[in-house]
Amino acid sequence: MDNRPKKELAKFLAEDLGKGDITSNLLPRIKIKGRIISRQDGVIAGVNYVKEIFLSKGCTVRIIKKDGNKTIPNQTILEITGFAQSVLSCERTALNLLSRMSGIATKTKKLVEKINAVNPRLKLYATRKTAPGLRFFDKEAVKIGGGEKHRMSLDQMIMIKDNHIAVAGSLPRLIIKARKKYKKIEVEVENQEDALLAASAGVNIIMLDNFSPKEIINTVDRLKKSKLRKHVKLEASGGINEKNIEVYAKTGIDMISVGEITNAVTGIDFSLEIP
């Protein structure tokens, strides 16, 4: 495992431990065996990070259900062996991360399955609407669920949005400036005319922000008539959810980004049981 997630996991554990688990320290120093079980249906995500949390405290871990596996209530996900103080002091941190990541993966999987039923070539992307400090793990969970990560940070790709245009005063000027230094450029637009303008300027991706399905279809048609459609990818974003994602998937776009898969997470319920 890379150092970055290891360092983050150590921070998560330190946050919960404080100066030490004073309750678990009352227990006799004996080795115990525990198992993490699922309490509901879902897609598993984060077992390798949970394993690392317990390993950092000298425990041994056996993974039963791997990332991406589906689970039902009362299934064993991991088995942990170690001193009672070590196992119990890691419990909440491990369960919290597993719950959140599995919740994201489960939601992502549902949306991906809906998209695939309509347009298997269409990709679902996460956004930067992640919990502070958890982006790496949130985006990993999206990938496990069958989605794509998109940008991890602001330095990875140019994305010109409404506030950038408001400050600069001109979309074409910003695009020209960006093209002098960067090859890949995405522009967020709020109307059809700006979509045509961005496509004419040679951007790589156009995000159609809060477009209705009908507006997207009309925009796709105009880009085709202008012989611009083949040269640009179209991303739909804003107001897309489990109820309407199939309608958006039929509009002829290439990408869908959904913020709620990481900013409105419903965790999957797990518990640690000591026989």
- State the catalytic residues: 129
Within 44-83, where are the H helices?
47-55
139/8 Cα distance (integer angstroms): 14
- Residue 61 pairs in a beta bridge with 80
Closest CA to 77 of 57, 108, 101: 101
68/141 Cα distance (integer angstroms): 9
99/104 Cα distance (integer angstroms): 9
Which residue matches tokens 């120093």?
29
For residues 154, 155, 158, 160, the Cα torsion angle rounded to the nearest 10 degrees is: 30
